Amino acid sequence: MSGDFQAAPGRDKLGRMLPGMNSRKLKQLKVAAKFDELVAEFFPHGGYGVMDENRLRLAAAHYIDADLCRDPVIRQRATRCAEYLLHKLRPPAPPPPAADDPAALALEHLLRKPGVL
């Protein structure tokens, strides 16, 4: 283990903010990273809608607030709110059944006896 200090994103080797970075920009970067993590967890193959995206972004922001907060009550409240938002996500819709040969389906329909389903 080396004694080198690893700089966080948006900071130099001494831990100071780089030009153009501020605390708000750093929080936005953290929320974006957490959002990408949540998308990979809940929608690994894509297929989420606008409402799901907004809920994921808001849940990511609540999780970051819970990580940065020092008060345990506020931390728990933010975590529960994020979990509530994630609970409301809809799973991606299953793909429609693949259409087989339309001619074979039409022939099967014609050959089916009347009155028998």
**pLDDT score, position 93:** 67
State the virtual CA torsion across 84, 86, 91, 92 in degrees, nearest 10: 140
Outline where DSSP puts E strands in 1-117: none
* Res 61 pLDDT > 60: yes
pLDDT in tens, 11-24: 888 888 888 888 89
* Res 103 pLDDT > 70: yes
* Res 8 pLDDT > 90: no
Q: How many domains does the chain have?
A: 1
pTM of this prediction exceeds 0.85: no
Question: Do 62 and 82 contact (CB within 8 A), yes or no?
Answer: yes
Asked whether residue 97 is domain-assigned, the answer is no
Asked whether residue 112 is domain-assigned, the answer is no
Range of the domain at 32: 10-92
Write the burial class of residue 77 (CB in 10 Å: 0-12 exposed, 13-18 middle, 19+ buried).
Answer: middle
* Res 1 pLDDT > 90: no
Asked whether residue 22 is domain-assigned, the answer is yes
Write the burial class of residue 23 (CB in 10 Å: 0-12 exposed, 13-18 middle, 19+ buried).
Answer: exposed
Asked whether residue 107 is domain-assigned, the answer is no
